[in-house]
Chains A and B, each alone.
Chain A
Amino acid sequence: MGNTIVEFKNVTKQYGQGEAIQLANNDVNFTIDEGEFVVILGQSGAGKSTVLNMLGGMDTPTSGTITVAGQEVSKMNDKELSEYRAGTIGFIFQFYNLLPSLTAIENVSLVKNIVKSGPDPMEMLSAVGLSDHAKKFPSQMSGGEQQRVSIARALAKDPKIILGDEPTGALDSETGVIVLELLSDLSRKKGKTVILVTHNADIAKCADKVIRMKNGKIREIRINESPVPIREVEW
């Protein structure tokens, strides 16, 4: 494994005020190395999505520092966060969030409006095996296909880190496997750092590192010495 790319140091996130305070993250500390395939595991309400959102520059911590690729994300202003999201992060959502009025290729090309360099959108679409579907609109594709377009969109920015919030949550197991394979290949073959959030313990078996969360705190950080190949996982 390489250098540390992500560092959470004493990160706390609270919502609400006074008596209604909710601690979504409570003194969270961890590091992630470059090129790692990491799974953040926990039940609903464990605070794993909050971690991902802060890491993705969509939310800011109440206290503590988040450092990504040498930049202190927790101190960034609105404009810097936009640049950070554009340049460093590729985000994959549970419900894909493709723009319904754009075709597959247009959804991927979309990011060229903010990131001029990086790979060719059509190549990325081919990389996820959808070159035949380039002209299709999201409503004309299956969930798995839509998620692959969303991965291609994330890749077209050539991000350092790919974040996935329950990326297989809305997919059947067969399609889920295809999507997960794509993501693990990004880490293993292309050297991207891939961080997934899920409540599915089976997926964790395939990861290099598993961060287990409960009630806003980290319960366990485990390094998987021998990750199981995706194809062998069943859920």
Chain B
Amino acid sequence: MLVRKMTREIRKNLGQFLSLFILSFLAVSLFACMKASNISAYNKLEDLREATNCADGWIFSEGFSPEDLSSVKALPDITSAQRRLHFAATAEGFDQAQLEVYGLEEDLVSKPYYVNGKELDLSSKDGIWISESFAKEWDLKVGDAFSFSAYGRIVTKKIEGTIVSPEYQYLKADKDLDIVAKNIAVIYMPVSGLSESFSSILGGIPFNELIFTTNRSDVKSLESSLNEALHGNYAVLCDRDDMPGIRIMKDELAQHDQFAITFPVVFLAIALLVIMTTMNRMIANQRTQIGTLRALGMKKRKIILHYLSYSFIVSLLGSIVGLFVGTYLFGEGIAVIFRSWYLIPGWTVEMDASFLLVVILIVSCCTLATYLSCRKVMNVHPAESLRPASPKSGKAIVLEKLPFWNKFGFSTQYNLRDITRSKLRSFMGVFGTAAGMMIMVAAMASITTIQDASSWTFDKIQNFKNEIDFSDDITLDLAEEYKKEYGGELIQTSAIEIAKEPHADSSKKKTTSLMVTEGADYYRLTDKNRDLAELAPGTCAITMKLARSLDIHEGDTIYWHLYEKNTWYESKVGLINRHPNFSGVTMLRDDYEKTGAAYLPNILYTSSEEAAFEDQPGILAVHDDKDLKESFDIMMEMIYAMLFVFVAFATVLPIVVLYNCGNLSFHERVKEFATLKVLGFTTKKIRKLLSLQNLWLSIVGLFLGAPFGKIMLQYMFDSNGDSMDYPVSAGFLTYLVSGLFVMIVSVLVSYMFNKRIKKLDMVETLKGIE
């Protein structure tokens, strides 16, 4: 019988229970959507690493000997190790795609994952194994011939298989601004296939990488023993976090993990507020019913269970629907997008125990909230609960002490008192609109922030028309010649490690980039306030976030070495600068050359309009400012796609919450409204009275939520890691548009009550029937 009572009452209070359903659905589905593709990514990544025995550590040098390998293998914590040759090459045809070629003498660590063809055969002198992503783009099949050039030689080999490298989930060509699968490939091949062509040029095969697996979780802690084994004869030791092909994917997944917690928490919080206010009202209204049930001899426990079942069933339904829709619809959608960027074989969506935990958590939070609401009534003696509850006590509120309190109209005084009497409901209204406003501001500000970063880049930092990227075989003379011909400024970018002390160990140094400019005003620096700044000769600039993470200030000395070399240099920091996409150290060419390190530019920034740059020796690619702006446009497109989702949430939240507020407020005051109607108040006047409160709560929520929009967006941009510095820009217009949007939603919600007030049956309502 109680089940029938429950289903009927859920139907009667459909608005509130639907809200509860939507909110628990949103909380779980958002979690599932962010998490489902992540879990699959982690699992498949683990499978990939296991199947390929992916390296834990990478050591780089100019060449490792067989003795070096034996010494490393002999270390107690090393489980497997091998040498390999790594060099960059260019495809013959195929748009001169960039190739990362690995010559192998053994196939023990970071073995390829096979998609098509046969497994790696170390005795094969003609075979190569090439990235599946590249082969697919160019329709390359096993058995096809493939030519590439390196060190001035062209070699032609046969494709024996297509593969995925465990070291490149993120694979982007240097010349591209975004991932373009047809422009880059990883090639694995037996080193014997390279000997003939390259031994004579290179003076043997320089095994410039030594890769290993270890039992230790902290690879860098092996540094001293490796240093000893190799007699200091290496440039740098890296772990997985240092390898861009692995790290960028890892950062992306970590970002999703963060979002999977943050966003659902907001919805859960609102769901709890809705439940508590709804159940509070329902139980207060059913006080005499509860009294009757108890007078009839029903056990307290049974009655409590009955009321718990309302929110339990509704939130469970919402959660379960959210679980499946979130995983298999939204999550799969995310996986589809990310599969096109990152290379993990078999990546799809999966659930794990945490999904069940989230459902249990949300359902039990909702049920607990109900328990807290009904506990009070259960403690009232049955005889007492059979009588109607004494009227809510009215009392003077603090605001009444204000000298102008009496100047307020009836509606104002009435609503102010009502708000203080129904704190939880009012808090829900404020919180819900604040959350809506926060999301809306974040959505609008994401547009202005990208626009702002774009104008920062193109109006201040980049003062050139074309960016000419040199290929690896460029010489300084040739570069200078191009500069003479087109005019402009030569730039060298290199990977470096920096620290606050020379020869710092891994924990104290950071891998970053060095940019060497000629100070010719084609590439300009901006200071902390993003105003143009000059780099004084004899000093270097360091980007703000990097400086902060290493606690470096202007005037400090930093120590650095080129990634593949072991010689440390020192520089004085003359400027803390900011750049949206570059993180690292900038110095002038003169100062760089004074260190004695070899100078070889890889970029020419020029204002020359001539377009015939490409297909000339030593030039890899030319990007004009339109190309460069395009990367911002792509970001903009992604933002616009996200905007839709954001605006949807920013609409649903205030609607759900304000509707509930209005609904509760209507039901709580329905007798008062009926009285007012008898006194002669018109429908319009009563609706105004009801909506005035929602309007106030919305306005308060608006102002409280607005600053958090900026904070939330900054958090989202910052979760991309230290390499991005996008200061969130939100102007007056952002707040105005967001505020108007939320207010319009709020006003529309108030009209939802128009009909109900009009239809309000004074006679029935005032009879005092439940």
Contact = CB atoms under 8 A, between A and B. Distances in A.
Given A58-B762, A99-B675, A102-B417, A115 B680 contact: yes
Interface residues of A, number: 38
A217 B409 CA distance: 45
A91 B392 contact: no
A113 B418 contact: no
A85 B680 contact: yes
> Chain B: interface secondary structure?
helix
28 contacts: A49-B763, A56-B678, A58-B677, A59-B763, A82-B680, A85-B677, A85-B680, A86-B680, A97-B674, A97-B678, A97-B766, A99-B414, A100-B391, A101-B394, A102-B414, A102-B417, A103-B394, A111-B680, A113-B411, A113-B685, A115-B680, A137-B393, A137-B395, A138-B394, A139-B391, A139-B393, A140-B393, A157-B680
A103 B762 CA distance: 23
A89 B396 CA distance: 31
A60 to B, nearest CB: 11
B682 A101 contact: no
Give the interface size class of chain B. 20 to 34
Interface in A161-213: none
Contacts of A115: 680
B681 interface: yes
B545 to A, nearest CB: 53
B524 interface: no
Contact of A110 (B410, B677, B758): B410
A53 B677 CA distance: 13
Interface string B659-676: 000000000000110111
Choose among A49, A89, A95 the residue with the greatest number of B CB atoms under 10 Å from its CB: A95
Interface in B731-770: 758, 762-763, 766, 768
Contacts of A85: 677-680
A87 B394 contact: no
Interface of A: 49, 53, 56, 58-59, 78-79, 82-87, 89, 91, 93, 95, 97, 99-103, 106, 109-115, 135, 137-140, 153, 157
B683 interface: yes
B680 to A, nearest CB: 3
A147 to B, nearest CB: 14
B398 to A, nearest CB: 14
Contacts of B758: 78
A101 B421 contact: yes
B681 A114 contact: yes
Contacts of A87: 680
Contacts of B674: 97
Contacts of B391: 100, 138-139
A109 B410 contact: yes
Contacts of B675: 93, 97, 99
B682 A82 contact: yes
B394 A91 contact: no
A99 B672 contact: yes
Given A82-B681, A101-B418, 9 more contacts: A82-B682, A91-B679, A99-B672, A100-B393, A101-B421, A112-B410, A113-B410, A115-B680, A139-B392
Q: Which 5 A-B pairs have the closest CB atoms?
A: A86-B680, A137-B394, A101-B417, A85-B680, A139-B393
A58 B680 contact: no
Contacts of A89: 680
A53 B681 contact: no
Contact of B680 (A49, A83, A93, A99): A83
A122 B671 CA distance: 25
Interface string B410-430: 110110011001000000000
A59 B677 CA distance: 12
A181 B472 CA distance: 108
A110 B677 CA distance: 12
B688 to A, nearest CB: 11
Choose among A85, A91, A99 the residue with the greatest number of B CB atoms under 10 Å from its CB: A99
Interface in B677-703: 677-683, 685
B390 A79 contact: no
Contacts of A91: 678-679
A89 B677 CA distance: 12
A101 B678 contact: no
A112 B394 CA distance: 21
Contacts of A138: 391, 394
A91 B676 CA distance: 11
A102 B679 contact: no
A187 B720 CA distance: 81
Contacts of B677: 58, 82, 85
B680 A114 contact: yes
Nearest to B686: A82
